[in-house]
Amino acid sequence: MEIGSLLGKVVDLVSDAGKILIDNYPNLLRIETKADGTFVTQVDRESSRSISAGLRLISPGFAILDEETKEDGSRFDSGFCWVVDPLDDTKGYINGGKNFGVMVGLLHEFVPVMGICYKPSSNELSYAVKEKGAYININGVTSRLRVSGSSSLDRVLVSDSRKSPDLDRMLNLLNPVEIIHMGGSLKTIEVAKGNSEVFLCPPSSTMHLWDLCAPQVILEEAGGRMTDVYGKEFDYSQRETANRNGIIAANNDNIYKTVLNLLRN
């Protein structure tokens, strides 16, 4: 299958989901706490239903791994699997933040091959197909995505809500010029846009496969590198969806190796 032919259709689905987020922001009717302590709203679920229904229509036979839907195990039996975060940064969304988004990635034999990330608050749509480059469309204007050309640790992005001694220790080892705090998983996209050299997440902060898949494709196609903090590739075939090994998302291979070596000290 030529997966690139699906890109435009998925972009439409993600854009529609973004409209759901904006239309309900910030008028939330119901906020619940899930078993893992994270929040979920009726907007998460409405966005999830909209995306999943559309994906089933355009790609029958593909599995779907969705944050808000109980996994049925089909991703282990299908060569293709969509990986969906229908509302990334739910906590920020609830609190009136602007860094929430929609993320849809595609796995082929457990390898990320397509990613679409949408930030509705600024109408920024980032997307990539493996070996086809990464692009961003802002208010209807499309341009190529490329990472920063810096060869030094000028700027490091970290989560503004996941502070920990583990992260403080890592930042002390890196000693960047500037530390930028931001919510959500779109921090990886900021690295792809050239607005930071590194996004760093410590192992103490759990992230899931739906936080990784779409941004990874976009960053790598923009020229970056992304693994866990131990230098291992993410395992999208694992039964558990949680990643507890942290993240290094870097703008180039040299910065990536520098960060990895510093963290090993």
pTM of the model: 0.95
Domains and CATH numbers, the chain: 3-144 (3.30.540.10), 155-263 (3.40.190.80)
Identify the band that residue 1 occupies on the pLDDT scale cut at 50, 70 and 90.
Answer: low
User: Could you report the per-residue pLDDT of 247-263, keeping only the tens digit for each?
Assistant: 999 999 999 999 999 99
Across the chain, what does the average pLDDT equal?
A: 94
Say which residues have a Cβ less than 8 Å from residue 246's Cβ, sequence separation at least 6. 200, 201, 202, 203, 204, 205, 228, 229, 230
CA-CA distance, 127 to 145, in Å (whole number)? 9
Average pLDDT over residues 90-94: 90
Q: Kindly give, in sequence order, each residue whose CB lies less than 8 Å from that of residue 154, ignoring residues fewer than 6 positions away.
A: 148, 176, 177, 178, 197
The whole-angstrom separation of Cα 171 and Cα 255 is 14
pLDDT-based confidence at residue 29 (cuts at 50, 70, 90): low
Q: How many helices (H) and strands (E) does the chain have?
A: 7, 16
SS3 107: strand
Percentage of the chain surpassing pLDDT 70? Answer: 98
Is residue 265 pLDDT above 90, yes or no?
A: no
More confident residue, 41 or 127: 127
Amino acid at 91: K
**214: pLDDT strictly greater than 70:** yes
DSSP letters spanning 207-234: EEHHHHHHHHHHHHHTT-EEE-TTSPPP
Residue 6 pLDDT grade (very low, low, confident, very high; cuts 50, 70, 90)? very high
User: What integer pLDDT is reported at residue 36 of this predicted model?
Assistant: 79
User: Residue 172: pLDDT above 90?
Assistant: yes
Per-residue model confidence (pLDDT) at position 31: 81
Confidence category of residue 168, pLDDT binned at 50, 70, 90: very high
